A and B are shown apart, each in its own frame.
Chain A
Amino acid sequence: MKKKHWYQFLWIASAVYLLLGFVNILFAWLGMLCFLIPVLIAVLKGDKAYCNHYCGRGQLFELLGNRHGLSRKKEIPSFLRSRWFRYGFLIFFFIMFFNMLFSTYMVFAGAAGLKQVVTLIWTIRLPWNWAYSAQGIAPWAAQFAFGFYSVMLTSTVLGFATMLLYKPRSWCVYCPMGTATQLICKAKNHGKRTGKIKGGS
């Protein structure tokens, strides 16, 4: 039996993160690690070690889809894996991310009030006031937490849906972080080859 590595249990961290958002929205800030670590690895090391080893969300989908049999394990439609969709989704995702940052700035500047809602799939506004108590926290920090948790919950819901319909880790095909880090790696390693592989495909 293969020895398990510590990072093969990161799905637990991913599941706990989602649950913590129901308890106290400020835990959403921890999700920044899922944005910063893959980008840092791609920029500094020039690889996708985060996707390949440390992505707790991918592990969670694999666990639910494979071990618990929730996935139909069908082929993903060709449009979902096409380049225009992957890059288009990346652009859309980042536009919505910067929109969320702008909302945070508006609260910071005092031009807007704190909205205690989590927005699912960029459209469905869910009241989330039970997970927030205003004591000692700057409103903008809370607004960012609500916005960031919306991003994380939305991507989990989309990933869960494609896990059910297609192969367990179908989310990896159009994950904006995966697409972005692959682009960074391509830019960084353009023209480089290791030369280790004999008869590579």
Chain B
Amino acid sequence: MSVKTRKRAVVAQEECVACGCCVPVCPKGAIHIEKGMHAQIEQTLCVGCGKCKAVCPASVIQMAEGNG
């Protein structure tokens, strides 16, 4: 039986500058800035559209494959 995988956005939190550019572009409202420190993505909401990755000026968001 094959396991279905799909891409989801992952933030390199140590490198994130917490600018918040990714927050308004997320169509599912899955991103917030955690106490001014870094972006946080709710993985259960992420649909892997990659809009946050495209807009991130620090290039700290990558699309990674995960189950589901």
Contact = CB atoms under 8 A, between A and B. Distances in A.
Given A47-B35, A201-B10, A201-B40, A185 B59 contact: no
Contacts of A188: 35
A57 to B, nearest CB: 12
A51 to B, nearest CB: 5
B: contact size bracket: 20 to 34
Interface in B9-65: 9-11, 13, 15, 17-21, 23, 32-37, 40-44, 54-60
A200 B34 CA distance: 11
Given A42-B36, A48-B33, A194-B34, A168 B17 contact: no
Instruction: Give chain B's interface secondary structure class.
Output: loop
Contact of A172 (B9, B19, B40): B19
Most buried by A among B15, B42, B54, B58: B58
A128 B57 CA distance: 34
Contact of B19 (A173, A189, A199): A173
Contacts of A200: 34, 40-43
A173 B17 contact: yes
A186 B36 CA distance: 7
A48 B20 contact: yes
Contacts of B33: 47-48, 52
B44 A178 contact: no
A183 to B, nearest CB: 10
A179 B17 CA distance: 7
Nearest to B16: A182
Nearest to A78: B59
Interface string A160-201: 000000111111110000110110111011001110011111
Given A48-B19, A173-B58, 17 more contacts: A47-B33, A48-B20, A52-B18, A53-B20, A76-B57, A168-B57, A173-B57, A178-B17, A179-B17, A182-B18, A185-B36, A193-B34, A198-B44, A199-B44, A200-B42, A201-B13, A201-B41
When A and B form their complex, which 5 residue pairs have the shortest distance between CB atoms, in order from nearest? A185-B36, A52-B20, A199-B43, A172-B19, A48-B36
Interface of A: 42, 46-49, 51-53, 58, 62, 73, 75-76, 81, 86, 166-173, 178-179, 181-182, 184-186, 188-189, 192-194, 197-201
18 contacts: A51-B20, A52-B23, A53-B20, A58-B19, A75-B59, A81-B15, A81-B60, A167-B56, A167-B57, A169-B19, A169-B21, A172-B17, A172-B58, A185-B36, A192-B35, A200-B42, A200-B43, A201-B9
